Structure 1
Amino acid sequence: MKHRENNGCRDDKYLHMKTKVALVTGGYTGEAEISFKSSDFVYSQLDKAKYDVYPVTIALDSWFHVSEQGIKIPINREDFSLTIDGHVVKFDVAFIILHGTPGEDGRLQGYFDMIGLPYTSCGALTSALTMNKGYTKSILADIPDLHVANSVLLFESHRRDAVSLITERLSLPYFVKPNAGGSSIGMSKVKEDAALQEALDKAFDAANTGRQVLVEEFVTGREFSQGIFRDSAGELVVLPATEVRTTREFFDFEAKYIPGLTEEITPADLTDEQKDRASRIIREIYIRLNCRGMVRVDFFLEAETDRFYFIEINTIPGQTPQSFIPQQVRAFGMKESDFYAELIEAALSSSTQ
């Protein structure tokens, strides 16, 4: 394992030192609140006998670590290091648990690439691309057995003519969502054209989503979410799927985060053929998009046709105890602590290749 210099130690006897992990959280959007909950859980699961873990908050006004004494210590952005009690802490790896910008859209990954710090998530290009739902669908459209809903991608320049563009090309009901958002913020299901303009305005004006809107024909069926990761040996591992059943019109922000509105079944009740087909598709998605670390793929199984329809991919999936990935890791028979260790070791291994 390749180690950077830590705490100013230079003697060979320090080669057995624990791996220093920057647990990167926070962010510039409303999803920061979820990021903190996710990173708190990851922190609780990481083996402190093996890893020295330093939570690092990325906020608009500052990047910082809060010491055990409650002191706010700024990050040196030249090399993402900390100076604590006169000692410089240089990290071996960044564990990114930051939903939304700049942790999920490639900006932070590009910075880490420039300073040479390994990290646990997809690379800069893949992260940026997958935040754009429309572009992602274009790349995945010809994967065997994977279907994509008919859609229209709208930019700000289309806004004046958006209603006519949609009604000419798509059939009701519509699913309207920001093209670069997360946590289902700004999404609407539209059952009649009279409600379309309000839904478009809501999606266009959603904060930090790039003022682009994706409108899709609504797919009726069962909804699933399924994780996949590359382990420290370089093997792709597909986790068991979770089925999402909600009392709401669709799996929106409230359904995701208000207890009691959604039932989540892990592992999902799928036939062996459906499991094999989903696994094959998800592996191809991971490879096609050049993913790294863990990702989560959301999809529909259309009621009448038994076709899998791609919804979206999440490259920094939530990690609260109730989140899909931890549920699936447990259903797979793995401890979360071992799972997170695999992600760290895989990031370190890939950085030395």
Structure 2
Amino acid sequence: MKKNIAILMGGYSSEFDISIQSGNVVYKHLDKSLYNPYRVHITKDSWFYIDDQDQKTLIDKNDFSLSKDGSKIIFDAAFNIVHGSPGEDGLLQAYFELIGIPQTACDFYQAALTFNKRDCISALKPYGIPTATNYFLNKGDAIAVNDIIHTVGLPCFVKANKAGSSYGVSKVNTKEEMLPAIDIAYKEDDEIIIESFLSGTEVSVGVITYKGKDLVLPITEIVSENEFFDYEAKYLGKSQEITPARLTKEQEEKVRELALKIYQILKMKGFSRSEYIFHNGEPHFVEMNTNPGFSEASILPQQAIAAGISLTELLTNTIEESIKSQKYN
């Protein structure tokens, strides 16, 4: 008997449109012989199922059910591909945990922790994970530009603490650029992280739960045409994404070990994609995405295909792992 799968897309953040694209890719590649897929848009105003004729039907949030053609549809699992809030910050994860429906992303605590760049870095530091030098700001704090520069140096990066797809991120090369960059970051979040510049090769490493085991996917090297891997580089073709990355055997082993270690320290499951920069020969952790982009050209799907895993196989595995995990809890 086919399982009913809700594909969650949209969300409350600037990444709404990107999530819709990702969700439609999941819908396209899901194995229709195993699953009945339902596209569910998550918006601040309502949650609704949208059919192939773009007709909308509201989701009952009391039990996450759908009334369609006179019958009530109960979902066997939710495929969470909402980028940003509420799909990547733990809110949806906690909701599904409460009502007892499996969802494909990591658990709510891990989602909340990794979505908060500052907290994630702080949690990893006791384990000796190398990162950039950081300076934290909250909206309303006094901004001492000289102190910031003394701590992190120039150039540096100013980032919104809880945002994805490089929204609210600026590279600061001069003292005069600092305050405008902080203003940009505050448009996305009321918390900011300012990081020292790490020079070196940037790579993206996917780690997933595959057939019951933690699997590090082939590594992708990021070569941006812009000053850093910003929105244009990620989504408008302003970068090269080279899989497998052009690393030495030693570099590859170092970053694979580090990515797997972080995945296991944080007790992750499902998808993850982490960014690293080889600074002075050592991979430095930048951040982790737990619901990374999922267009056909996105990095994680590229890596899965390079590992010999088709998108349909990847999606099937992710759904079945989430259902199995729910049974064990």
TM-score bucket (shorter structure):
over 0.9
2:174 aligned to which of 192, 211, 220? 192
Residue deviations 1:186-237 (CA, integer Å, cap 9, x gap)? 111111112111111111122xx3x1110011000111111011123x2111
Supply the distance in 2 between the matched residues of 1:25 and 1:343 (Cα, whole angstroms). Answer: 16
Residue deviations 1:223-252 (CA, integer Å, cap 9, x gap)? 1111011123x2111000100101111011
Partner of 1:19: 3
TM-score, with length taken from structure 2 = 0.97
Letter in 1 for 2:293: G
- The answer to whether structure 1 residue 94 and structure 2 residue 78 are counterparts is yes
1:83 aligned to which of 63, 67, 78? 67
Question: Following superposition of structure 1 onto structure 2, how do residues 98-113 of structure 1 map, counting pairs within 5 Å?
Answer: 98-113=82-97
Question: Following superposition of structure 1 onto structure 2, how do residues 1-353 of structure 1 map, counting pairs within 5 Å?
Answer: 17-144=1-128, 146-158=129-141, 160-206=142-188, 209=189, 211-232=190-211, 234-259=212-237, 261-302=238-279, 305-353=280-328
Letter in 2 for 1:256: K
Which secondary structure state, in structure 2, belongs to the residue aligned with residue 237 of structure 1?
strand
Supply the distance in 2 between the matched residues of 1:68 and 1:321 (Cα, whole angstroms). Answer: 20
Q: In structure 2, list runs of 5 or more residues that go unmatched.
A: none
Supply the distance in 2 between the matched residues of 1:320 and 1:297 (Cα, whole angstroms). Answer: 17
Which secondary structure state, in structure 2, belongs to the residue aligned with residue 23 of structure 1?
strand
Deviates more, 1:196-205 or 1:166-175: 166-175
Deviates more, 1:187-196 or 1:69-78: 69-78
Supply the distance in 1 between the matched residues of 2:53 and 2:299 (Cα, whole angstroms). Answer: 34
Supply the distance in 2 between the matched residues of 1:104 and 1:57 (Cα, whole angstroms). Answer: 15
Deviates more, 1:128-137 or 1:271-280: 271-280
Supply the distance in 2 between the matched residues of 1:191 and 1:71 (Cα, whole angstroms). Answer: 49
Question: Whose radius of gyration is greater, 1 or 2?
Answer: 1
Alignment root-mean-square deviation, CA: 1.2
Deviation at 1:69?
4.8
4+ residue segments displaced more than 3 Å = none
The answer to whether the 8 Å contact 2:14/2:167 transfers is no
Supply the distance in 2 between the matched residues of 1:152 and 1:198 (Cα, whole angstroms). Answer: 17
Letter in 2 for 1:221: G
Percent of aligned pairs sharing the same letter: 40
Supply the distance in 2 between the matched residues of 1:164 and 1:115 (Cα, whole angstroms). Answer: 50
Which secondary structure state, in structure 1, belongs to the residue aligned with residue 201 of structure 2?
strand
Residue deviations 1:238-286 (CA, integer Å, cap 9, x gap)? 0001001011110111111112x11110111112222222111111111
Letter in 2 for 1:205: K
Q: In structure 1, list runs of 5 or more residues that go unmatched.
A: 1-16
Supply the distance in 1 between the matched residues of 2:52 and 2:203 (Cα, whole angstroms). Answer: 40
Which secondary structure state, in structure 2, belongs to the residue aligned with residue 196 of structure 1?
helix
Supply the distance in 2 between the matched residues of 1:183 and 1:214 (Cα, whole angstroms). Answer: 15
Deviates more, 1:268-277 or 1:47-56: 268-277
Supply the distance in 2 between the matched residues of 1:253 and 1:69 (Cα, whole angstroms). Answer: 31
Q: Give the total of aligned pairs.
A: 328
Which secondary structure state, in structure 2, belongs to the residue aligned with residue 141 of structure 1?
helix
- With over 3 angstroms needed to count, the CA separation of the structure-2 counterparts of 1:70 and 1:151, relative to structure 1, is closer
Deviation at 1:157?
3.5
Supply the distance in 1 between the matched residues of 2:122 and 2:54 (Cα, whole angstroms). Answer: 47
Supply the distance in 2 between the matched residues of 1:35 and 1:167 (Cα, whole angstroms). Answer: 36
Deviation at 1:155?
1.1
